[in-house]
Amino acid sequence: MQYGYFDDEHCEYVITRPDTPLPWINYLGSEDYFGLISNTAGGYSFYRDARLRRITRYRYNNVPLDTGGRYLYVRDDHSGTFWSPTWQPVMTDLKNYTCRHGLGYTTIASEKEDIQTQVRYFVPLGQNLEIWDARCTNLRTTKAELSLFSSIEFCLWDAQDDATNFQRNYNIAEVEVEGSTIYHKTEYRERRNHFAFFSCSEPLTGFDTLRESFLGPYRGWNQPQVVAEGKSRNSEAHAWQPMGSHHVQFVLEPGETKRILFILGYHENPVDQKFTAPGSNIINKKSVYPIIQTWLNPNNVDHAFEKLRQRWSELLSIFQVDTPDLHVNRMVNIWNAYQCMVTFNLSRSASYFESGIGRGMGFRDSNQDLLGFMHMIPERGRQRLLDLAATQMENGGAYHQYQPLTKRGNNDIGSDFNDDPLWLVLAASAYLRETGDLSFLEEMVPYDNRPGSEKPLLDHLRRSIRYTLDRLGVHGLPLIGRADWNDCLNLNCFSDTPGQSFQTTTNREGKNAESVFIAGQFVLAAREMADMVELIGLSDEAEEYRSRAAAMMKTVENEGWDGQWFLRAYDDFGKPVGSKDCKEGKIFLEPQGMCVMAGIGLENGYAKSALDSLNRYCAGDHGIALLWPGFQQYYLHLGEISSYCAGYKENASVFCHANPWAMIAETKVGNGDRAFDYYLRICPSVREAISEIHRSEPYVYAQTIAGPESPDSGEAKNSWLTGSAAWNFVAITQYILGIRPELNGLRIQPVIPQHWEGFSAERVFRGVCFHIDVQRKGNGNTCVLFVDGKKIQGNIVPLPEEGVKSISVLVEIY
């Protein structure tokens, strides 16, 4: 069953009924100003940091689920009836509801009582504001007397404080109304220089800025008293709960359309005027007038929307494919790339499943997000890498997260996730492979943002590698620390005290647990590191990394092999985790994927055997479960992983982030059929057909899909902000389609399914457009490449000489 359809031509997903199983959301903005918006106009906005600069308020875990947003009310002033053109919050039946989620914008349109309303929400490029572009059309044969009310609830900036510190917050809010603009200036008198403005293109019949006046006592957003009565109170909030509502009245002749613009923006006074009025609550509005004027002009709005569309078409054109599979084309060409942009921007901070309060930019997460983003805007990738590296500590370890506004490591979560540093190497390598920009390695970056501690980026990478080598356990495998990629596999948390949580290490300092996953990741990272330093002439150092990688590979084969698959780890007591001898959690996906991806076991048959075992025990209709069998009870020595019900999250769900590792691994052993089969099992577009089971958005990946041991197996959980975006993009484009940037050219080495006769692609790489045509000639995976008609050796197409902007590559697969 479906709730809409893909409109590939316009790069939109069109939702055709408002009551989707869960709110199906989209993101507005992709630089500094961001908004989340659901298919019924729920959601909120913030400037750069979802925790520290929250512009509008949102309540989590609410009832009904998605309450609060960018709401408009249409009122027939003749009959007194009113409704929400976005369905919520009034929820009256609508005729012809559609929500078009596009790339950076959402348009919701509906009809009710022969009044057609459409509102398009977007953030113009380079601006710190969002536009609500509303149009009402009278489809009646008589004239219509209408009111349009807007509404938002202001958040008092720090979302954490806003949600908890009521005794104070009920006494600080300040607004100001001037003409058609409502200014939200709470915090200003504390000498902060930011405020928000909410403006309308029309003269106002009235306004409200106090929530209680607008809603009326005991009422919710579904029945605001002001809307019901058709009369604003012109309330000005002094403390209590500030909000913004404009009231516009107009008469439409039959067939007539009225366009009304609203803008909601964030503003900081120019630095030189920063504290012009120290301690006062007089905001400097002058600097924002021109902005308001510009964006209430419909021509500028139209132009900005066109520019946004154009920008996305440029970004997407960097990598376009034409394959025999509709889903691949749609995901690679549009939605997967788009999701990679969103995860790049927001890491795991603000979604409908992450409050924006708890988590900032994840070190591990953001590094991996870069893998799917790098080709789009490598300059931004570079900056992100420098920010991440600046939160690294001198011992090579890293803060697990940092706040985007301050770019400082966030101590709430701490460090000691021993996989973290290696992701920096892999992401830096992705940047170098994409751009060839060697100067990057010399860029000076501090440790822990401490002035004076600057060292070249290369030094950071060296310390990342050293971090692992300095921390090897009794089997010679890397110590896991607090956890590796699997946050919830906490093997050093032994505690005898009943009820003691997984995070506490009380009567015994756990530290011995080792990770086979990190071992595989190390092999991968050390080899990429070797290639990087080789390129700048450090051959001895390169040799050192290669021999370390080879040694680690041997250690994994000797100590990390369970007979038919790779072990997951050794716990703090030296007992194997993820072994046939375990009662539960006998086999884990991560080490099978990561080790084979790193090339371990390709020669001695271990790789194939591990992948076959994974297929046998973990692969189901809805994807590959993270482990099998799921843990049925809580185990202190395993930690958080066993706190989940079996089939959910890290306890045996289909973890969509890790599934692509198995896809990539299958390409390493030449099994294109299986790699692609795995790809399709979790592909959102494929799962659109079972939306009643999948329940989450069919245009983006979710973090997990409930695993076979769950009663709601197949239900996707935690959509949007997940490493699934980047890794699925990498798996399909770089390994199955096989188009992968290398330091010395573009590798083209597809491992496609047998039934594909070929595909074509266009990839802009280092300023050159590669027109790629792949043709299957035999049943194997051996590729023969012809560049502009001339056969070349190997799979890497070198860059053409200066000035050549386009080349064509024919690939024959035998």
Q: How many residues bind ligand NOJ (CB under 6 A)?
A: 9
Interaction partner, residue 695 (ligand BGC, ligand NOJ, none; CB < 5-8 Å by kind): none
Rounded to whole angstroms, the Cα distance separating 112 from 95 reads: 6
From the list 194-202, 218-226, 482-490, 574-582, the region that binds ligand NOJ by CB under 6 A is: 482-490
Shortest approach of ligand BGC to residue 641 CB, angstroms? 9
Encoded tokens for 531: 């290639």
Distance of CA 805 to the CA centre of its chain: 32
Task: Single out the catalytic residue among 487, 562, 571, 572.
Answer: 487
Indicate whether 133 belongs to the interface with ligand NOJ (CB under 6 A): no
Asked whether 418 and 519 are in contact (CB, 8 A), the reply is: no
Shortest approach of ligand NOJ to residue 410 CB, angstroms? 14
Shortest approach of ligand BGC to residue 567 CB, angstroms? 22
Shortest approach of ligand BGC to residue 655 CB, angstroms? 9
Beta partners for 235? 208
Catalytic, 487? Answer yes
Which residue, 206 or 362, is less far from ligand BGC as judged by CB? 362
Q: How many residues bind ligand BGC (CB under 6 A)?
A: 4
Asked whether 672 and 781 are in contact (CB, 8 A), the reply is: yes
Which residue, 76 or 709, is less far from ligand NOJ as judged by CB? 709
Which residue, 194 or 649, is less far from ligand BGC as judged by CB? 649
Q: What are phi and psi of 500, to 5 degrees?
A: -65, 135
Interaction partner, residue 485 (ligand NOJ, ligand BGC, none; CB < 5-8 Å by kind): ligand NOJ
Which residue, 325 or 487, is less far from ligand BGC as judged by CB? 487
Indicate whether 358 belongs to the interface with ligand NOJ (CB under 6 A): no
Rounded to whole angstroms, the Cα distance separating 665 from 736 reads: 10
Rounded to whole angstroms, the Cα distance separating 205 from 232 reads: 8
Which residue, 29 or 356, is less far from ligand BGC as judged by CB? 356
Shortest approach of ligand NOJ to residue 726 CB, angstroms? 12
Rounded to whole angstroms, the Cα distance separating 61 from 67 reads: 10
Which residue, 14 or 488, is less far from ligand BGC as judged by CB? 488
- 677's enclosing H/E stretch is helix 672-682
Indicate whether 369 belongs to the interface with ligand NOJ (CB under 6 A): no
Interaction partner, residue 365 (ligand BGC, ligand NOJ, none; CB < 5-8 Å by kind): ligand NOJ
Indicate whether 487 belongs to the interface with ligand BGC (CB under 6 A): yes
Bin 745: left if φ > 0, else alpha if -120 < ψ < 50, else beta.
left
Q: Which of 319, 467, 485, 770 binds ligand NOJ (CB under 6 A)?
A: 485
Interface pattern 486-525 for ligand NOJ (x via CB under 6 A): xxx-------------------------------------
What type of residue sits at position 203?
P
From the list 257-265, 358-366, 507-515, 522-530, the region that binds ligand NOJ by CB under 6 A is: 358-366
Shortest approach of ligand BGC to residue 776 CB, angstroms? 39
Which residue, 33 or 485, is less far from ligand NOJ as judged by CB? 485
Indicate whether 717 belongs to the interface with ligand BGC (CB under 6 A): no
Shortest approach of ligand BGC to residue 634 CB, angstroms? 14
**Rounded CA Rg of the chain:** 28
Rounded to whole angstroms, the Cα distance separating 63 from 303 reads: 39
Encoded tokens for 128: 């710190």
Encoded tokens for 238: 């002094």
Q: Which of 51, 384, 649, 747 binds ligand BGC (CB under 6 A)?
A: 649
DSSP notation for 521-544: HHHHHHHHHHHHHHHTT-HHHHHH
DSSP notation for 471-490: -B-TTSSBB-BT-SSSTT--
Rounded to whole angstroms, the Cα distance separating 585 from 35 reads: 40
Encoded tokens for 740: 């992968």
Which residue, 187 or 487, is less far from ligand BGC as judged by CB? 487
What type of residue sits at position 740?
R
Indicate whether 488 belongs to the interface with ligand BGC (CB under 6 A): yes
Indicate whether 362 belongs to the interface with ligand NOJ (CB under 6 A): yes
Shortest approach of ligand BGC to residue 487 CB, angstroms? 4
Nearest C-alpha neighbor of 483 from the set 530, 456, 515, 525: 515
Which residue, 432 or 589, is less far from ligand NOJ as judged by CB? 589
Shortest approach of ligand BGC to residue 718 CB, angstroms? 8
Rounded to whole angstroms, the Cα distance separating 193 from 271 reads: 9
Which residue, 520 or 741, is less far from ligand NOJ as judged by CB? 520
Contact positions with ligand NOJ (CB under 6 A) in 596-655: 650
From the list 114-122, 147-155, 485-493, 530-538, the region that binds ligand NOJ by CB under 6 A is: 485-493
Shortest approach of ligand BGC to residue 644 CB, angstroms? 7
Indicate whether 591 belongs to the interface with ligand NOJ (CB under 6 A): no
Interaction partner, residue 54 (ligand BGC, ligand NOJ, none; CB < 5-8 Å by kind): none
CA–CA distances in Å: residue 646 to residues 102, 289, 579, 650:
36, 56, 18, 9
Indicate whether 482 belongs to the interface with ligand BGC (CB under 6 A): no
Q: How many CB atoms lie within 10 A of CB 738?
A: 24
Q: What share of the chain is helix, strand, coil (3-state, %, to 5)?
A: 30, 25, 40
What type of residue sits at position 123?
V
Strands 129-138 and 45-47: unpaired
- 369's enclosing H/E stretch is helix 363-373
From the list 58-66, 256-264, 483-491, 664-672, the region that binds ligand NOJ by CB under 6 A is: 483-491
- For 448, residues 6+ apart whose C-beta sits below 8 A from its C-beta are 390, 391, 392, 393, 394, 399, 409
- 95's enclosing H/E stretch is strand 95-102
Rounded to whole angstroms, the Cα distance separating 521 from 544 reads: 17
Which residue, 488 or 645, is less far from ligand NOJ as judged by CB? 488
Sheet with strand 569-570: strands edge to edge: 514-515, 569-570, 576-577
Shortest approach of ligand NOJ to residue 702 CB, angstroms? 12
Residue nearest ligand BGC, Cβ-based: 487
DSSP 318: T
Q: Active-site positions? A: 487
Residues that bind ligand NOJ (CB under 6 A): 348, 362, 364-365, 485-488, 650
Residues that bind ligand BGC (CB under 6 A): 487-488, 649-650
